[in-house]
Amino acid sequence: MGAIEFREHDERLQAATRKLDGKVAKRRARVCPADATLLSEDGSCGVCGRRLTPPSVDLSTMTPQQRKTAIESGIVPPATEGLSEQEKKQAAFWQRYRAKHPDAQQAKPPKPTLTEKASKFFRTEVTVGPNGERIETQRLVEMSG
């Protein structure tokens, strides 16, 4: 499983995802068909007491970003029609993740990669070679303190 890759991919889109979370929450708000009362978070109606299972998610009306956000919110069953193979895997992953971590707003951001860590210790020195070519040299930054 490419779980680590997936988390890195997730981090890149987290900023955009956060903006969309509110919209998804509104989209999830449901109304009782009998008395038009807003259902509580668990899908039950405070007036007639009936409990409604969540409606299947309509992916056809979503932008790719909204699809992704919905999938990462764990509200898209992997069996939903219209999902690509990759999206099914992601939907299954996020449903499991949300089930295990109901309080988690987002997956923990991954630690910086080794390359990112290492890049802090290098600076690029650009010089011009004897034939006018550009030469980039990675130099170790001198540690002070």
Binding site for Zn ion (CB under 5 A): 32, 34-35, 45, 47-48
Give the 3-state secondary structure of residue 25. helix
Tell me the C-alpha distance between 68 and 57, whole Å.
Answer: 12
Q: How far is the CB of 30 from Zn ion (least distance, A)?
A: 11
Beta carbon nearer to Zn ion, 53 or 61: 53
Name the minimum Å distance from CB 43 to Zn ion. Answer: 11
Q: Which residue lies nearer to Zn ion by CB, 4 or 34?
A: 34
Contact 67, 59 (CB under 8 A): yes
For residues 71 and 81, give the distance between their C-alpha atoms in angstroms, rounded to a whole number: 13
Decide whether 20 or 32 has the Cβ nearer to Zn ion: 32
Supply the minimum distance, in Å, between the C-beta of residue 31 and Zn ion: 9
Between 47 and 141, name the residue whose CB sits nearer to Zn ion.
47
Q: Within a 13 Å sphere around the CA of 123, how many CA atoms are in the beta-carbon half?
A: 6
CB of 51 to Zn ion, least distance (A): 10
Nearer to Zn ion, 30 or 89 (CB): 30
Q: Answer yes or no: are the C-beta atoms of 39 and 30 closer than 8 Å.
A: yes
**Cα–Cα distance measured from residue 124 to residue 144, given in angstroms and rounded to the nearest whole number:** 18
Residue 136 pairs in a beta bridge with 126
Q: How far is the CB of 92 from Zn ion (least distance, A)?
A: 32
